[in-house]
Structure 1
Amino acid sequence: MQPGNPLKAPTRRRFVSSLQRCFALEPEPVPFERGFLPAYELVDAGATKPPKSTWVVFGGFDSYIEETFTVLAAVAQRGRRVIAFEGPGQGGALEADLEADTVPGRSERLTMRADWAAPVSAVLNHFDVEEATLVGMSLGGGLVMRAAAGEPRARRVVAFDVLDDFLEVLVSQSLPPTLARGAGRSLTHLNPLIARTPTRVLNRALTEQARGSPVTWWGMWQGMHVTGTHSPAEFLRAAAAFSTADVSPRVTGDVLLMQGAEDEFVPLHQMVRQAERLTAARSVTTRTFTRAESAASHCQTGNTGLMARTILAWEEGL
């Protein structure tokens, strides 16, 4: 639903409140700049031992964190403290003007930013977390690297799916699949070209492309909404800031990179490139999920249980 759709606010409220009731969870607003970050803490109420670790989990470009409750509740049952939150440009932080009935308090909506260490640090401080396993989903797979590069409490870092260059993902979505695969790493050199192209020309080209592609059309208006930009060209240029090329060499923790072998959005070479750039990481582990595992799609949709078990096994083996 586009932001101006009158059905969006009541539909979102119904979705969020239903999941909150189902899992008996209420959001805890974490103050951040002029707004708040909705956060949920999931723990095993019947546990007899302290949690083995703390997971701090967040999404990406268009997810609501409440979508993850099912799998995260299972993770909590396996001895983890789980803090799931929405940062700037996500869910309740973005839709603050629609949240009066679902989130305590009311404040300004926060649009997405590349400096992800700041919201992560605010959440760690609020919940008094001394060290954590950071888990980023979809675009969060890139945001998690930007956070870990500036937050020393991120001892373990998980990206699923790996997304090291948001601009490349957006452009590859607008190309035919065979051409996108053939272009490969050359797509990473588009930033200078986009910067030099006149805004009017870029807007016209993007709008024309969107007319023939529902996915491109959705991504265009959703991107402007999430980033607070006002034209397709402005959004595309803003997306260039989410590359991890400049921050990956500063990540020092243990890293797990995951991808689906048939990811619908993220070019597969991004995981290889990300692994190569993590030169200061304590360790780097990669995992590609296949169709035979029902996990070949973006973010392992189809077998999120396997995704969670993979992270748990990796963490326990460190």
Structure 2
Amino acid sequence: MDRFDFPVGYYNLHKIKIIEFQLNRWHSFGYARLEDMVEAGKRINTADDWKEEMIRQAEKALAEGRTMNGAFYYRAAEFFTLPSDPDKLKLYDKFIDLFYNNVFANDDIERVLVPYEDGYLSSMKVPSRMDTTKGQIVIHGGFDSFIEEFYSMAVYFSNLGYEVIMFEGPGQGATLKKYNLPLTHEWEKPIKAILDYFNLDDVTLIGISMGGWLCLRASAFEPRIKRVIASSIAFDYMQIPPKFIASFARFLFKYPKLMNYLAELKMKKMPQEKWGIYNLMYITKKDTPLDASKMILELSEENLHSDLVKQDVLILTGEEDHFIPLKMHHKQVKALTNAKSITERIFTRDDQGHNHCQIGNFGLALDVMAKWIKNHSK
């Protein structure tokens, strides 16, 4: 694929925020037709309807010869499929097969398994499409993404002359699904493995969503990272809700049965919470909401070590992010007391990048990143 189009616009596609966001997500990254997402939004009533409708969209797209759409609709179908459902892995495998063996089979993609602990870190290398290489960019996601989702991003930077390496750390993608490595907050460890394996130095690290927290944590301990870009930073996950809610949550940790019971009630009433709790249990490989939620305590201000970050830093935030409130952006900027430089960009509704990870105008976010990297490179 020579290039991707990044459409502009965050659309009102569903009354449930997380469903609306997911429908916009695949369109904004350049993989889905808006008309398909509009149609799906009309046919989906709740998250329980999601899987079958997205499979229907995938099959329809493939029958019409739209293989890229079809592949990513299988990925979309996998998203809300619960870990207990055997279709979850089947849908993932279907997506991966179409991605590498059909849609992008002729692209210059190198798939690499990087040894790590008792398994491997799934990674992808995309070379510069220019005669010379301007430098290396390393990209990873966070709570729910696969590296294949960021391929349009990799192609964008490759066309600008950068070598791009994307990887899935513990708790992500194939690293979790195939090699059973659960999420860790000590992100400097997988980053070290990636930098060592590819013999990288003087790199730009980009972390998306929860990856924004993880990339800053890694930068605090890894000097080979010279520039770091955090998209939709959380800073401290226990500081996201109001203080009284956070205090109540900490109280519940002392009463496991009560916390698990209340979590079950929450999952029944709130689709975003249901998906979030189940996915957290899945990526941490824990059996109860309580045990999984202990990871949230690890993603803290103290463990982030913002004061140790000495690189050039770019922070991108959506003003109306439905996951991460704007206050977290300001807390993070204030905490970076020793950064070489700090550049911040808050995207507004006028930009159409006002939601999480600039879904609605991802192309603008990439343009901001590219100009910043150029200005902060030797």
Question: TM-score normalized by structure 1?
Answer: 0.87
> Aligned-pair distance for 1:4?
2.3
Partner of 2:346: 288
Mapped contact 2:323–2:356 kept (Cα < 8 A): yes
Structure 2 counterpart of 1:148: 219
Aligned with 1:110: secondary structure? coil
Q: What is the CA distance between 1:208 and its match in structure 2?
A: 1.3
Match for residue 236 of structure 2? Answer: 165
What corresponds to 1:177 in structure 2? none
Of residues 223, 243, 248 in structure 1, which corresponds to 2:300? Answer: 243
Give the alignment partner of residue 3 of structure 1, picking from 83, 88, 98: 83
Q: CA deviation at 1:26?
A: 4.3
Equivalent residue, structure 2, for 1:252: 310
Identify the residue that residue 28 of structure 1 maps to in structure 2: 112
Corresponding residue number in structure 2 for 1:41 = 125
CA distance in 2, matches of 1:52, 1:127: 16
Post-superposition offset of 1:274: 0.5
Q: Which residue of 2 aligns with 1:298?
A: 356
Structure 2: how far apart are the matches of 1:278 and 1:35? Answer: 34
CA apart distance, 1:221? 1.0
Question: How many equivalent pairs are there?
Answer: 291
User: What is the percentage of aligned positions where both structures have the same residue?
Assistant: 32
SS at match of 1:163: coil
**Residue 233 (str. 1) matches residue 315 (str. 2):** no
Residue matched to 2:173: 91
Root-mean-square deviation over aligned CA pairs? 1.7
Q: Distance in 2 between matches of 1:289 and 1:116?
A: 27
Q: CA contact under 8 A between 2:201 and 2:225: conserved in structure 1?
A: no
Aligned to 2:45: none
Contact 2:260–2:288, Cα closer than 8 Å, also in 1:
yes
2:3 aligns to what?
Answer: none
Q: Which residue of 1 aligns with 2:146?
A: 64
Cα drift, residue 193 of structure 1: 3.0
Quickly say closer, same or farther: Cα 1:18–1:94, change in 2 above 3 A: same
For 1:234 and 1:164, the matched residues in 2 are separated by: 21
What's the offset of the Cα at 1:190? 6.0
- Please list the CA deviations of residues 243-273 of structure 1 after superposition, one character each: whole Å capped at 9, or x if unmatched: 2434111111000111111101001111100
Q: What is the CA distance between 1:72 and its match in structure 2? A: 1.4
2:94 aligned with 1:14, yes or no?
A: yes
Aligned equivalents of 2:177, 2:96: Cα separation in 1: 12
Larger deviation, residues 61-70 vs 36-45: 36-45
- Post-superposition CA distance 1:266-287 (Å, at most 9, x none): 0111110011111111011110
SS of the aligned residue for 1:272 comes to: helix
Tell me the secondary structure at the aligned position of residue 287 of structure 1: strand
Distance 2:87 2:110 in 1: 23
Q: Which runs of 5+ in 2 are unaligned?
A: 1-80
Does residue 132 in structure 1 map to residue 203 in structure 2?
A: yes
TM-score by length of 2: 0.74
Query: Structure 1 residues 146, 244: CA separation in 2 closer, same or farther (over 3 Å shift)?
Result: farther
Q: Deviations over 1:210-264 (max 9, x none)?
A: 2110111111111001011221111222211012434111111000111111101
Partner of 1:100: none
1:62: Cα distance to partner?
A: 0.6
Corresponding residue for residue 75 of structure 1: 157
- 1:145–1:244 CA contact under 8 A, matched in 2: no
Measured after TM superposition, the shift of residue 130 of structure 1 is: 1.3
Q: Residue 114 of structure 1 aligns with which residue? A: 185
| Contact 2:121 2:168 survives alignment (8 Å) | yes
3-state SS, counterpart of residue 286 of structure 2: coil
